[in-house]
């Protein structure tokens, strides 16, 4: 049982451009921003937010133009725009520097923040970023994601999603188990939500996975970054787990192992929170400011 689940949860809307960004805040302490992947819905991070709220002021949010973050004038899909959205939310909340944990495609956004907005970052964990440009199997992965996008246009979300999961080695059983809970969440949710644009969402996925970080600039920015991968993903040699090792080598930073699989922040939230706390809180308590590669 999560001992922190009973802590008060603040929900809010930050008026932004032609719409707003939905966010949630829970806990007290150093601010920690959780950046969701996949659907961009921070509901998928509510368990890890609960687990972390005993040590941090946890801020999670729906990506702009997704779920409860409404936009009335969709803009061009741009990875830098996602990074700007996150930083604008941070400043709107009156925060100067935050710890950041980016999950899956949320880790891609986190890397762009490290590259372009380092002044706002205390420390950062990027968990299994699904980047294909940095991976040795780029050609095969690129063809796979292109086929997923075309499948979405022709056959819809369900078949494209299955093709996506099977082709990238995502764990099917956990997806099915959590999918039922997510349907209940949608059923009980009273907030206005964006109507999904399936073609746009899969195109967005293609663009996100093709993002290429400027490693030299990130190194020069001296943002303290940890890469993260789940034990099952490492064992099965999933490309997003191998990316954690590739990025760690490029940035001369530490790679951290998490329990479970790609969806561990939902299915093994308490254990993952322990890993995050042992990484961040140790430095908070010691008062150390550790630079990358030190």
> Could you tell me the residue ranges of all domains in the chain?
9-135+210-286
The DSSP output letter for 237 is T
Q: Give pLDDT, residue 82.
A: 92
Q: Give pLDDT, residue 189.
A: 87
| 237/58 Cα distance (integer angstroms) | 31
- Put residue 167 in one of left, alpha, beta given phi > 0 → left and psi -120 to 50 → alpha: alpha
CATH 3.10.20.600 corresponds to the domain 9-135+210-286: no
Task: State which H helix or E strand residue 270 sits in.
Answer: helix 269-286
The answer to whether residues 207 and 84 touch, using CB atoms and an 8 Å cutoff, is no
Q: Give pLDDT, residue 290.
A: 33
For residue 232 the two structure tokens come to: 């099952």
Tell me which residue of 215, 231, 227 sits closest to 264, measured CA to CA.
Answer: 231
Answer positive or negative: Cα dihedral of 220, 224, 229, 234: positive
Q: Give pLDDT, residue 202.
A: 81
Could you tell me what percentage of the chain is helix, strand and coil, using 3-state DSSP and rounding each to the nearest 5? 50, 20, 30
Per-block mean pLDDT, blocks of 10 residues, the chain (294 long): 66 89 95 94 96 96 90 76 94 96 97 98 98 97 94 90 94 89 87 77 86 97 97 98 98 97 97 96 53 33
């Amino acid at each position: 049982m999560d001992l922190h689940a009973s802590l008060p949860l603040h929900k809010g809307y930050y008026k932004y451009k032609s719409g707003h960004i939905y966010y949630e805040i829970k806990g007290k302490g150093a601010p920690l921003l959780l950046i969701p992947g996949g659907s961009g819905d921070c509901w998928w991070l509510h368990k890890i937010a609960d687990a972390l709220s005993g040590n941090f002021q946890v801020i999670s949010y729906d990506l702009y133009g997704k779920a409860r973050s409404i936009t009335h004038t969709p803009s061009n899909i741009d990875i830098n725009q996602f990074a700007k959205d996150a930083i604008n939310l941070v400043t709107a909340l009156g925060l100067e520097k935050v710890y950041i944990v980016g999950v899956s495609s949320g880790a891609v956004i986190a890397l762009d923040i490290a590259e372009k907005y380092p002044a706002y970052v205390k420390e950062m964990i990027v968990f299994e970023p699904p980047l294909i440009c940095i991976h040795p199997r780029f050609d095969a992965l690129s063809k796979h994601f292109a086929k997923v996008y075309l499948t979405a246009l022709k056959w819809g979300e369900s078949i494209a999603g299955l093709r996506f999961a099977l082709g990238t080695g995502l764990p099917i059983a956990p997806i099915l188990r959590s999918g039922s809970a997510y349907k209940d969440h949608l059923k009980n949710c009273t907030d206005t939500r964006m109507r999904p644009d399936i073609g746009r969402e899969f195109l967005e996925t293609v663009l996100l996975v093709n993002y290429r970080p400027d490693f030299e600039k990130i190194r020069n920015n001296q943002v303290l970054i940890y890469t993260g991968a789940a034990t099952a993903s490492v064992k099965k040699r999933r490309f997003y787990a191998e990316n954690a090792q590739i990025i760690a080598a490029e940035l001369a930073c530490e790679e951290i192992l998490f329990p479970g699989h790609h969806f561990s922040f939902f299915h093994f939230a308490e254990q993952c929170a322990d890993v995050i706390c042992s990484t961040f809180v140790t430095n908070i308590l010691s008062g150390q400011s550790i630079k990358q590669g030190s």
